Structure 1
Amino acid sequence: MKSHNEEVTAIHAADQHQLVPKKVIREGLLIFILAAIQFTHMMDFVIMMPLGPQLMRIFSISPKEFGFLVSAYTFSAAIAGFLSALFIDRFDRKKAMLALYFGFALGTLACALAPNYFLLIVARVVAGAFGGVLGALILAVIGDAIPENRRGAATGKVMAAFSVASIAGIPIGLYLASELSWHMPFYLLAGLSFLILLAAIRFLPTMRGHLTNAVRTNPFRVLGEIAVSRNLQWAMGLTVTLTSAGFLIIPFISPYMVANIGFSERELSYIYMFGGLATVVTSQLTGRMADKFGKQRIFILAALLAIPPILAVTSLPPVPHYVALIVTTIFFIFYGARFVPAMALITSSVEPRLRGSFMSINSCVQQLSAGLASFAAGFVVKETASGTLQHFNWLGVLACVISLLTIWVVRHLKTVS
């Protein structure tokens, strides 16, 4: 017979054996819900780029006006990110997430209902106000709930939502837009968002850990503390350079492929489908490599490898479509590979009590950078009398210069939590 101590030990071991799987399941479910929310948030944003040729034709707008349509979302998100930083850390993460996601779903529905260019801009402003803060809160939750040694992999899984949006969401959205109207992708996205909201209400755990040792302070003092932190200045510097390098290019890939390479509007889905299929694997691989070999090292490698595809995609002459698809797919692989370790580094650069506020400020900086880059790109790219676009290669060179600058910035960033 077993002694009392042996029985206690056996029971304790059995309890431990049961607890580990439950913890893994809870963490996996949390990451899945965050990825689902990120999927709808990312699809709502990126669907505007492949819809560009159709919207420019239907509304009879110029590249500059299309650039403003893209940047309206990001400027709104930037303002909302700054305002949310004043109070976001005072709430349970779950309640904040649900409130923001409900507002985002309503904004997306408003996009579907918009009858003209002006009201579409208004709807994009509403969607951006909630969506921009939502993206920041997702990263804050990862930082709070996932240990640092697994944070890169978790970030990679959530960031893979962009790939899933590219593989499934954008092709389906473009098909609906081509066969029915540009409104239909937003109707689909709004319906899906409300379904995910119901799942989030049921399965998201209460998240109040950041409030345990929090001291109620003047929110402007919190902003001041963020502003004077040298490490957080470098983190925001990385956000500015990384985002600007991407959004000088991304909004005009679809219009360039239609006008200069000869893609049809329906064929644009192949660009995002193949890019998404590749990055859904490489983003998670990059996350695991970042945890194993160091986030800064993997970021620097990805940033260097991204330069040739940037130059290629922005200066592509008329080529067979399969060549263009190879170039764009490689571009998306390394574009995404930079973001995974970068976001993990930024999330780990701030202590938990300031994480929500900082990630909101950082989201503000990110969205403002994206908006300014998209808006500026609209002034550089010109439409010729024949309908082709010119000067896109100028943006490619500028994006490469900024990409090199990100390497200098990331070397100054330190992990604190």
Structure 2
Amino acid sequence: MNSPTPLEAAGRLPSAAHAASSRLALFALAVAAFAIGTTEFVIMGLLPEVASDLHVSISSAGLLVSGYALGVAAGAPILAALTARMERRHALLLLLGLFILGNALCAIAPGYGLLMVARVVAAFCHGSFFGIGAVVASHLVPREQAASAIALMFTGLTLANVLGVPFGTFLGQWAGWRATFGAVTVLGVLAAIAVWRLVPALPDLPAPNLRRELVVLRQPQVLLALAMTVLGFGGVFTVFTYIAPILQQQAHVSVGATGWVLVLFGAGTTIGNMLGGRLADWRLMPSLAGVLVVLSLVMLAFAWTMHSTVAAIVTVFVWGVFAFATVPPLQMRVVQQAADGPHLASTLNIAAFNLGNAIGAFIGGVVIDAGLGLPFVSMAGAAVALLGLIATLSSAALERRRVSASTAACAVGA
């Protein structure tokens, strides 16, 4: 028998009415997630157009990815603190306001400097929106359906890779890259209206205890889990940041076909997200270690397969599967290790993903500027993912030592 939601328990809504309103609220959150995911990733498909229009190098244009990612990393803890005492729907609307402002500035930015600032402004909402949104989503449904509700919200982020990024790329190539950010701005406005009209006020949702949440961050395993995210996912963006020039210059994929290859990558990420969730439910740490090994090998192989159109396209799909198969176990590991204060840790893990994105984009740019060539970018991505594997193995070893010590202590006590 399903347990009632807080609103049902309070007698505010009958069960059937609440189920319908919850589905609409989750849809609104998913639309917002779709918009945020699109603006984060679409820049990769438009790097050549942005670089040409603003008269900067590909590596400089790639720093727009780093700027966004660092904005997420910096904004997540700041806005988590500033919005901690706000009613959750009001906090979500404030964050979407920042998103709309940042993307509107991107659409009208006359030069590289303002575009970078606008990307950072848009990014500030990212970490806190997903952190708060996940809590709101879980509060809208019975407890045993909480994980499914969160997954439904994050479906918007997955669909951004399947639909938002490739079609944003098509639009930018056809009408100019500014048109893409204009379209995302409109999508952000629609998402804000949906959240305002469909997400209910939740006055009974308790505000997080920031002092208790900060104490959790002192735990070595929580810090290791965040490091696993930075490095494990950082390798992906070392390569993905420069996917458009790799496909066009190395694999000889036409400009028009680049978006379709990104559709295939997005399909791979959708499969990988589901695969990663199942593997994490089965055996979290061994599965994560295995996925990171395969991810590293795929990126290493891409250094050679990128020279063949067909082989490159197949590799991009497989790479998408294993790139996003890391996401559920990395998120689960942080929440698992920060059980006494999961709100801030979960938000910071979103920031950790984006810090990895920033570091990866920077490393890829350094490789390009050094004249080593695009195949070496893929090798560098494999190396970064292997560092994530080392952090994962270190965390697993530390956990085994703790369990052994606890078992020995119990044996002595007995």
The one-letter amino acid paired with 2:298 is: P
Tell whether 2:385 aligns with 1:395.
Answer: no
Which of 301, 308, 312 pairs up with 1:324? 312
| Residue correspondence of structure 1 range 59-138 to structure 2 within 5 A | 59-138=54-133
1:147: Cα distance to partner? 7.3
**Are 1:252 and 2:252 an aligned pair?**
no
After superposition, give the CA deviation of every residue in 1:30-58 in whole Å (9 maximum; x if it has no partner).
Answer: 43332221111111010011111222222
Equivalences for residues 263-412 of structure 1 within 5 A? 263-288=253-278, 290-291=280-281, 293-319=282-308, 321-351=309-339, 354-382=341-369, 389=374, 391-408=376-393, 411=396
C-alpha distance in 2 between matches for 1:245 and 1:355: 26
- Which residue of 1 is the match for residue 158 of structure 2? 163
Question: Residue 136 of structure 1 contacts residue 362 of structure 1 at CA under 8 Å; is this kept in 2?
Answer: no
CA contact (8 A) 1:382 1:390 kept: no
Aligned length: 388
- TM (norm. structure 2) is 0.82
Distance 2:136 2:395 in 1: 23
Q: Note the C-alpha offset of 1:384.
A: 5.5
Taking the aligned partners of 2:390 and 2:344, their CA distance within structure 1 comes to 26
**Gaps in structure 1 of 5+ consecutive residues:** 1-17
Q: Look up the equivalent residue of 2:36 and give its one-letter code.
A: H
Q: SS where residue 183 of structure 1 aligns?
A: helix
Residues 233 and 323 in structure 2, CA contact (< 8 A), matched pair in contact too: no
1:13 matched residue in structure 2: none
Distance change (3 Å), C-alpha of 1:372 and 1:283: closer
Q: CA deviation at 1:262?
A: 1.4
- How far apart, CA to CA, are the structure 2 residues paired with 1:242 and 1:329? 18
- Aligned AA (1:379): V
Provide Cα deviations, 1:188-242, integer angstroms capped at 9, x if missing partner.
1111111111111111123345527x66xxx5x4564133233432332232222
| Alpha-carbon distance, 1:348 to partner | 4.3
- Structure 1 residues 155 and 65, CA gap change in structure 2 (3 angstroms): same
Matched, 1:236 2:220: no
- Once the two structures are TM-superposed, the CA of residue 251 in structure 1 deviates from its matched residue by 0.5
Q: Secondary structure at the match of 1:91?
A: coil
Secondary structure of 2:49's counterpart equals helix
- AA of the residue aligned to 1:243: F
Shift, 1:22, TM fit: 5.3
Letter in 2 for 1:374: A
Q: Aligned partner of 2:293: which letter?
A: L
In 2, the alpha carbon distance for the partners of 1:244 and 1:278 equals 18
Which residue identity does 1:234 align to in structure 2? L
Report Cα offsets for 1:99-138 as digits up to 9, x if no partner. 1012101211111111221221121121112234323333
What is the deviation of 1:86?
2.7
State the alpha-carbon separation in 1 of the partners of residues 375 and 294 from structure 2.
Answer: 25
* 3-state SS of 1:328 partner: helix
How large is the Cα RMSD of the aligned pairs?
Answer: 3.1
- Output the CA distance in 1 between the equivalents of 2:16 and 2:287: 30
Give the secondary structure class of the aligned counterpart of 1:134.
helix
Counterpart in 2 of 1:42?
Answer: 37
TM-score under structure 1 length normalisation = 0.81
Segment of structure 1 superposing worse, 93-102 or 235-244: 235-244
Cα deviation digits, residues 283-329 of structure 1 (max 9, x gap): 235435544x244454344333323322222443421x332211101
Match of 1:211 among 206, 210, 225: 206
Please give the per-residue CA displacement for 1:318-375, whole angstroms capped at 9, x wherever unaligned.
21x33221110110011111102322333344347x4433334334443333222322
Helix, strand or coil: the match of 1:318? coil
Write out aligned runs for 1:171-186 (5 A). Answer: 171-186=166-181
Cα 1:203–1:305, aligned 2, differ >3 Å: closer, same or farther? same
Partners of 2:141 and 2:393 lie apart in 1 by: 28
Matches within 5 A, 1:181-192: 181-192=176-187
Q: Residues of 1 paired with 2:375 and 2:275: CA distance?
A: 36
Mark the CA change 1:389 to 1:362 in structure 2 (over 3 Å): closer, same or farther: closer
Q: Which runs of 5+ in 2 are unaligned?
A: 1-12, 401-414
Q: Which amino acid aligns with 2:327?
A: F
Greater mean alpha carbon deviation, residues 87-96 or residues 326-335: 87-96
SS class of match (1:267): helix
* Paired amino acid for 1:398: A
Distance in structure 2 (CA, Å) of the matches to 1:146 and 1:391: 47
Larger relative contact order (CA 8 Å, sep ≥ 6): 1
Q: Percent same amino acid among aligned pairs?
A: 21
CA distance in 1, matches of 2:261, 2:85: 42
Task: Determine helix, strand or coil for the equivalent of 1:391.
Answer: helix
> One-letter code of the match for 1:120?
L
Seen in structure 2, the aligned counterparts of structure 1 residues 282 and 181 have a Cα distance that, compared at 3 Å, is same
Q: Contact 2:138–2:149 (CA<8 Å) still a contact in 1?
A: no
Deviation at 1:401, TM superposition (A): 1.4
Deviates more, 1:26-35 or 1:169-178: 26-35
